[in-house]
């Protein structure tokens, strides 16, 4: 019987090498067939919802509030106090009638006032009274006298800041030859000046003195009960004779 032991011993190293190769193949195969591990992926980026909303910097940090950018404020200028009107609107607006001047020009129509009588301060029972075309200082006793002693005070013919006096017959009181008369107007500049008298304050409360507009410094006064235009004199008699009270018309 043959002894095979030496052959088996000779095959030992080869078998070991084959066995090792087989084990290596099995190991490689096992490693190759192992499922691949999933790759780490970055967390999804949250949608951009615009400024002022919550946003996340990373999954490990808490949400932070991003302040909204400052809004620019536009300051509008105030509207003008008065905007110009369009021509059509301006034409449609009713026009206002301008107020009349309180001092109309000479020769124009003058608003009449209520009847006025002029009483002497030094002779309280006597009034300006038209008699024979002249103005005298007379007592008034009859209806005719009251009518002749009642005048209408109007704006001055030559200066609307002053006075003129119309008579019941439609004339005016004017000075001529320095005497006060009642005459119809001739429309001349001289007549308008002669018929205009400017009131000046008197030393007596409520009384006035009347200065001629074309003879400054001359005032109406009574002398021997005749009204005349005399230059001013610094005497008690002159001041008394030139002071008059304007009262309601007697007629």
Which helix H or strand E contains 119, and what residues bound it? strand 115-120
| Domain ranges for the chain | 115-248
Helix boundaries (H) for the chain: 5-32, 87-92, 143-148, 189-194, 236-241
d(CA 148, CA 142): 10
Residues of the chain by 3-state class (helix, strand, coil), percent to 5: 20, 25, 50
Confidence (pLDDT) at 205: 85
Confidence (pLDDT) at 251: 93
Nearest CA among 157, 152, 160 for reference residue 113: 152
CATH architecture of 115-248: Trefoil (2.80)
Average pLDDT of the chain is 72
What pLDDT, in 10s, does the model give residues 116-134?
999 999 999 999 999 999 9
Q: How many CB atoms lie within 10 A of CB 23?
A: 10
- Is residue 157 within 8 Å of 140, Cβ to Cβ? no
Measured in degrees and rounded to the nearest 5, phi and psi for residue 125 equal -90, 10
Confidence (pLDDT) at 38: 45
3-class secondary-structure state, position 68? coil
What pLDDT, in 10s, does the model give residues 23-69?
444 444 444 444 444 444 444 444 444 333 333 333 333 334 444 44
3-class secondary-structure state, position 21? helix
Structure tokens at 193: 């000046």
What is the reported pTM?
0.56
**pLDDT tens digits, the chain, 251 residues: what are they?**
445 444 444 445 555 555 555 544 444 444 444 444 444 444 444 444 433 333 333 333 333 444 444 444 444 444 444 444 444 444 444 444 333 333 333 333 344 456 999 999 999 999 999 999 999 999 999 999 999 999 999 999 999 999 999 999 999 999 999 999 999 999 999 999 999 999 999 988 889 999 999 999 999 999 999 999 999 999 999 999 999 999 999 99
Residue 187, CA atoms < 13 Å, CB-side half-sphere = 2
């Amino acid at each position: 019987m043959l002894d095979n032991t030496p052959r088996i011993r000779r095959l030992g190293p080869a078998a070991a090498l084959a066995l090792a190769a087989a084990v290596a193949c099995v190991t490689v195969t096992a490693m190759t067939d192992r499922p691949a591990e999933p790759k780490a992926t970055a967390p999804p980026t949250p949608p951009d919802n615009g400024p002022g909303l919550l946003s996340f910097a990373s999954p490990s940090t808490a949400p932070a509030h991003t302040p909204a950018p400052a809004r620019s404020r536009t300051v509008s200028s105030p509207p003008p106090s008065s905007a110009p009107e369009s021509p059509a609107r301006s034409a449609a607006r009713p026009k206002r009638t301008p107020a009349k001047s309180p001092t109309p020009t000479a020769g124009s129509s003058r608003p009449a006032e209520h009847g006025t009588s002029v009483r002497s301060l030094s002779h309280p029972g006597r009034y300006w009274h038209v008699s024979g075309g002249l103005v005298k200082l007379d007592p008034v006793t009859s209806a005719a006298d009251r009518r002749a002693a009642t005048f209408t005070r109007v704006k001055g013919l030559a200066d609307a800041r002053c006075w003129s006096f119309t008579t019941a017959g439609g004339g005016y009181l004017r000075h001529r030859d320095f005497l006060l008369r009642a005459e119809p107007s001739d429309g001349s500049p001289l007549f308008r000046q002669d018929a205009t008298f400017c009131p000046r304050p008197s030393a007596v409360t409520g009384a006035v003195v009347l200065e001629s507009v074309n003879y400054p410094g001359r005032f109406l006064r009574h002398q021997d009960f005749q009204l005349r235009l005399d230059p001013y004199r610094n005497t008690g008699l002159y001041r008394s004779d030139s002071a008059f009270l304007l009262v309601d018309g007697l007629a």
